């Protein structure tokens, strides 16, 4: 059977589950997502923002659906294309457990319902990625957040190369939220219904139409608001601020806030166990920060993953396992570059104690990990006050950290009251400011006393640096075996990591990751440290790695992760993932950038 025509599409930018697809010829795209699907009687908008049109023929049962391209966006890019599908006869989402009715069908254009997702066995047999996947029951599904979130996630993972459309529910007020959840295509249906009822929908939500405008002028204003929302969403994805835009737009209605929170809760459960499948990155992107200006940011899966990792997995350096010093954070990141932390470290004057920064919303940041994403690049308003949620998170994290480790003395210079059963906790602030001479003198005194009491010896500088890299490796890869027998040399902040006489890696302080050398690849293979990608036999690897080049992969890469590359059973090089695990191996466009070839 001949495969249906497929839309030319390539991911040109991504942030978690939000993606911008270039539509058409990759060298000369017709348009970009998020974009519109026009329905019957819709205005003929420009093709670059509305590359598709849906026609529904209800004179037959079940109704026939035809999705048409409005530009030459299917290879070989010389004609318009259409796909035919059947709407089926499905029950509403609330009756999804019932296997009854007629399932929708289609190939290049694949209509779905919750019922067909659960009961249609033919979906598991689809070998090609549909160009567009459409939720026919989205107007009903939108009333059940949990079903909606799970359905989108299921389809997104099953068809990572497809454009996803939920007709009838989008508007300027929720475009960013839907994009954040993984929706690529929007439509005018909802704003047309609202307009007919005298309501204008902007990015700030519904409001009464301006009665001084005639219908034509008012509709032009409505379309302008929609265009602006599309542009704003695209720019937010490109700049890494789609999360912030989604949070801001969610305030337009309680239901949107609720949906964002439930999506955070759902994705956080995935992020905690598998950050690659949750779309998280492992390293810094230059110029980007985690903007934690709202309380909603505390629920971000990125933040939840950090909190869980530090609480359940972090352990101190062996020579720092008896005494912990709790310090306040700083506006400057990494903290060690701030004047306040320069004074703290001068007072502490020892590498034999663990320094733990107390901060919102991350909770606790060990000194060795302050150079990692997101600890090295977040911003939060400073008021000098902590609310109950922040205090509970910090107290809970500290309790778990202490219960897993052997700290015997806690020197608390953070200004927050922290109590841990069975461990001496000494307050060196006593309501003074952290940088006051009195508080710093107490800090210095208590650290010296603790070092004498526990008979702690000062480790060598190189030993301490290497242990910091082991801690970083455990956080990133859940293993530090590749560093056995290694040593750290050079000057801060970009140290070299040597094994025998070979340089196996450099610490890249700008991106917060290890830059592995060719000589490390066999070590990474033997220690099973990083994900792997297997190329098709006979393929000549000369550039980036695309879905068409891949036979399989293993592990769960995050954007920024190093991967080792195999072909015909041999290790042939390395690449750096630019797409997270949930997109592998089928997402269109480059999935990894070439690094080394052996």
Regarding whether 124 and 239 lie in a shared domain, the answer is: yes
Regarding whether 321 and 236 lie in a shared domain, the answer is: no
Q: What is the pLDDT of residue 37?
A: 97
Q: What is the pLDDT of residue 97?
A: 63
Residue 77 has pLDDT above 60, yes or no: yes
Residue 381 has pLDDT above 90, yes or no: no
State the pLDDT confidence band at 101, using cuts at 50, 70 and 90: low
Question: Does residue 326 lie in a domain region?
Answer: yes
State the pLDDT confidence band at 163, using cuts at 50, 70 and 90: very high
By 3-state DSSP, what share of the chain in percent is helix, strand and coil, each rounded to 5? 35, 25, 40
* Alpha carbon distances (Å) from 140 to 35, 87, 488, 516: 22, 15, 59, 50
Regarding whether 374 and 228 lie in a shared domain, the answer is: no
**Distance from the first to the final alpha carbon of the chain:** 41
Q: What letter does residue 457 receive in the DSSP assignment?
A: P
Regarding whether 194 and 57 lie in a shared domain, the answer is: yes
Would you say 234 and 225 are in contact if contact means Cβ atoms under 8 Å apart? Answer: no
Regarding whether 447 and 337 lie in a shared domain, the answer is: yes
Give dist(CA 573, CA 541) in Å, integer.
10
Q: Which has more confidence, 91 or 12?
A: 12
**Among residues of the chain, what percentage have pLDDT more than 90?**
81
Q: What letter does residue 137 receive in the DSSP assignment?
A: T
Question: Does residue 263 lie in a domain region?
Answer: no
Question: Does residue 521 lie in a domain region?
Answer: no
Regarding whether 327 and 203 lie in a shared domain, the answer is: no
Q: Which two tokens stand for residue 533?
A: 């990608």
State the pLDDT confidence band at 99, using cuts at 50, 70 and 90: low
Contacts of 172 (CB under 8 A, 6+ apart): 191, 201, 202, 203, 225, 226, 228, 229
Regarding whether 430 and 538 lie in a shared domain, the answer is: no
Question: Does residue 236 lie in a domain region?
Answer: yes
For residue range 309-362, list pLDDT tens digits in order.
999 999 999 999 999 999 999 999 999 999 999 999 999 999 999 999 999 999
Query: Sheet of 409-412: strands edge to edge?
Result: 363-366, 354-359, 323-328, 409-412, 424-427
Among candidate residues 227, 218, 131, 149, the one with its CA nearest the CA of residue 188: 227
Question: Does residue 290 lie in a domain region?
Answer: no
Out of 391, 426, 453, a domain closes at 453
For residue range 49-74, list pLDDT tens digits in order.
999 999 999 898 898 999 999 999 99
Helix 254-273 to helix 301-312 angle, to the nearest 10 degrees?
A: 40
Q: What letter does residue 30 receive in the DSSP assignment?
A: E
* Alpha carbon distances (Å) from 166 to 44, 56, 291: 20, 16, 29
Would you say 299 and 265 are in contact if contact means Cβ atoms under 8 Å apart? Answer: yes
Regarding whether 240 and 341 lie in a shared domain, the answer is: no
Q: What is the mean pLDDT of residues 479-501?
A: 94
State the pLDDT confidence band at 100, using cuts at 50, 70 and 90: low
Question: Does residue 495 lie in a domain region?
Answer: no
Question: Given phi > 0 = left and psi -120 to 50 = alpha, else beta, which region is 200?
Answer: beta
For residue range 230-270, list pLDDT tens digits in order.
999 999 999 999 999 999 999 989 999 999 999 999 999 99
Residue 109 has pLDDT above 80, yes or no: yes
State the pLDDT confidence band at 293, using cuts at 50, 70 and 90: confident
Lowest mean pLDDT among 25-34, 257-266, 293-302, 380-389: 380-389
Q: What is the pLDDT of the chain when averaged over all its residues?
A: 92
State the pLDDT confidence band at 115, using cuts at 50, 70 and 90: confident
For residue range 10-46, list pLDDT tens digits in order.
999 999 999 999 999 999 999 999 999 999 889 899 9
pTM as predicted: 0.93
Give dist(CA 494, CA 514) in Å, integer.
10
Helix (H) or strand (E) holding 242: helix 242-250
Domain that holds residue 591: 530-598
The total of structural domains in the chain comes to: 3
Question: Does residue 525 lie in a domain region?
Answer: no
Q: What is the pLDDT of residue 95?
A: 62
Residue 422 has pLDDT above 90, yes or no: no
CATH number at residue 431: 3.40.50.10630
Regarding whether 325 and 238 lie in a shared domain, the answer is: no
Lowest mean pLDDT among 19-23, 187-191, 407-411, 416-420: 416-420
**Among residues of the chain, what percentage have pLDDT more than 70?**
97
Out of 396, 423, 453, a domain closes at 453
CATH number at residue 559: 2.30.130.10
Q: What is the mean pLDDT of residues 358-386?
A: 90
Lowest mean pLDDT among 210-214, 347-351, 392-396: 210-214
Residue 383 has pLDDT above 80, yes or no: no
Question: Does residue 473 lie in a domain region?
Answer: no
Q: Which two tokens stand for residue 515?
A: 């830059």
What does DSSP say about strands 35-38 and 28-32: parallel, antiparallel, or unpaired? Answer: unpaired
Out of 453, 469, 491, a domain closes at 453
Regarding whether 87 and 187 lie in a shared domain, the answer is: yes
Q: What is the pLDDT of residue 254?
A: 92
For residue range 215-229, list pLDDT tens digits in order.
999 999 999 999 999
Regarding whether 195 and 49 lie in a shared domain, the answer is: yes
Regarding whether 320 and 239 lie in a shared domain, the answer is: no
């Amino acid at each position: 059977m001949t495969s249906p025509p497929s839309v030319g599409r390539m991911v040109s930018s991504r942030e978690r589950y939000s993606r911008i697809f270039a539509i058409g010829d990759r060298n000369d795209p017709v348009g970009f997502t998020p974009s519109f699907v026009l329905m019957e009687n819709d205005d003929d908008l420009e093709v670059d923002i509305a590359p598709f049109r849906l026609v529904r023929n209800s004179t037959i049962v079940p109704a026939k659906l035809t999705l048409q391209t409005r530009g030459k966006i299917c290879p070989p890019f010389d004609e318009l294309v259409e796909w035919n599908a059947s709407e089926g006869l499905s029950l509403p989402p609330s009756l999804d457990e019932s296997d009854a009715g007629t399932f929708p069908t289609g190939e290049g254009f694949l209509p779905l319902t919750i019922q067909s997702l659960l009961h249609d066995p033919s979906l598991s047999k689809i070998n090609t990625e549909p160009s567009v996947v459409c939720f026919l029951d989205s107007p009903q599904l939108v009333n059940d957040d949990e079903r909606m979130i799970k359905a989108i996630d299921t389809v997104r993972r099953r068809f990572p190369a497809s454009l996803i459309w939920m007709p009838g529910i989008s508007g300027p007020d929720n475009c960013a939220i839907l994009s954040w959840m993984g929706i690529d295509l929007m439509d005018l249906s909802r704003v047309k219904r609202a307009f007919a009822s005298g309501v204008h929908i902007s990015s700030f939500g519904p409001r009464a139409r301006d009665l001084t405008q005639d219908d034509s002028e008012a509709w032009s204003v409505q379309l302008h608001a929609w265009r602006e929302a599309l542009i704003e969403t695209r720019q937010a994805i490109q700049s890494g601020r789609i999360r912030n835009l989604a949070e801001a737009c969610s305030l337009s209605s309680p239901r949107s806030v609720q949906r964002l929170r439930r999506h955070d809760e759902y994705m956080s459960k995935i992020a905690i166990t598998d950050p690659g499948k949750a779309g998280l990155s492992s390293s810094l992107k230059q110029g980007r920060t985690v903007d934690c200006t709202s309380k909603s940011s505390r629920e971000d899966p990125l933040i939840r993953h950090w909190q869980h990792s530090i609480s359940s997995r972090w352990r101190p350096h062996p020579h720092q396992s008896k005494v912990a010093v709790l310090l306040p954070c700083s506006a400057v990141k990494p903290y060690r570059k701030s004047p306040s932390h320069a004074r703290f470290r001068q007072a502490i004057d020892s590498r034999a104690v663990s320094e733990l920064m107390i901060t919102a919303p991350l909770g606790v940041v060990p000194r060795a990990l302050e150079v990692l994403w997101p600890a090295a690049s977040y911003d939060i308003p400073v008021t000098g006050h902590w609310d109950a949620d922040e205090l509970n998170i910090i107290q809970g994290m500290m309790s778990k950290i202490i219960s897993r480790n052997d700290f015997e003395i806690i020197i608390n210079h953070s200004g927050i009251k922290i109590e841990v059963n069975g461990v001496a906790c000494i307050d060196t602030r006593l309501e003074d400011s952290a940088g006051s001479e009195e508080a710093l003198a107490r800090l210095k005194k208590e650290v010296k006393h603790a070092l004498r009491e526990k008979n702690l010896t000062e480790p060598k500088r190189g030993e301490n640096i290497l242990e910091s890299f082991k801690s970083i490796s455990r956080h990133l890869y859940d293993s530090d075996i590749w560093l056995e027998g290694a040593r750290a040399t050079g000057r801060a902040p970009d140290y070299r990591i040597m094994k025998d006489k070979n340089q196996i890696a450099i610490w890249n302080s700008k991106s917060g990751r290890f830059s592995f050398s060719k000589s490390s690849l066999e070590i990474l293979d033997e220690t099973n440290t990083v994900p792997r990608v297997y190329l098709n036999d006979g393929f000549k690897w000369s550039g980036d790695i695309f879905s068409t080049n891949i036979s399989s992969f293993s592990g769960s890469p995050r954007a920024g992760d190093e991967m080792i590359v195999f072909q015909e059973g041999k290790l042939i090089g390395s690449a750096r993932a630019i797409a997270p695990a949930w997109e592998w191996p089928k997402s269109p466009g480059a999935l990894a950038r070439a690094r080394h070839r052996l």
